[in-house]
Amino acid sequence: MGGLKQELGLAQGVGLLSTSLLGTGVFAVPALAALVAGDNSLWAWPALIVLVFPIAIVFAVLGRHYPSAGGVAHFVNMAFGPRMERVTGWLFLSVIPVGLPAALHIATGFSQALFGWHDGQLLLAELGTLAIIWWVGSRGASSSANLQTLVAILIVALIVAIWWRGGIDPAHIPFPAPQDVDRSQLFAALSVMFWCFVGLEAFAHLASEFKSPERDFPRALMIGLLLAGTVYWACTVLVLHFHAFGEGMAAAASLPDIVVRLFGVQALWVACVIGYLACFASLNIYIQSFARLVWSQAQYRPESRLARLSARQIPRNALNAVLACCVISTLCIYWLDINLDALIVYANGIFIMIYLLCMLAGCRLLQGRYRVLAAIGSLLCLLLLAMVGWKSLYALVVLAALWLLLPRRRSLSETPGAQP
Domain ranges across the chain: 10-172+183-407
Q: What is the pLDDT of residue 106?
A: 81
Whole-number pLDDT of residue 345: 66
Alpha carbon distance 274, 287 (integer Å): 20
- What's residue 250's pLDDT? 73
Position 76 scores a pLDDT of: 95
Helix, coil or strand: residue 173: coil
CB 301 within 8 Å of CB 414: no
H helix or E strand, kind and range, residue 139: none
Which pLDDT score, from 0 to 100, does residue 352 have?
Answer: 87
Q: Helix 340-365 to helix 72-80 angle, to the nearest 10 degrees?
A: 40
Across the 420 residues of the chain, what is the mean pLDDT of every consecutive 10-residue run?
80 91 85 88 89 91 92 93 92 85 82 77 90 92 90 94 91 84 82 79 90 91 93 93 82 86 91 90 92 90 86 90 92 80 71 93 94 94 81 85 79 44
Structure confidence at residue 340 (pLDDT): 65
- Maximum CA extent, the chain: 67
Size of the chain in residues: 420
Architecture of domain 10-172+183-407: Up-down Bundle (1.20)
CA dist 29 → 255, 273, 294, 365 (Å) = 11, 18, 31, 35
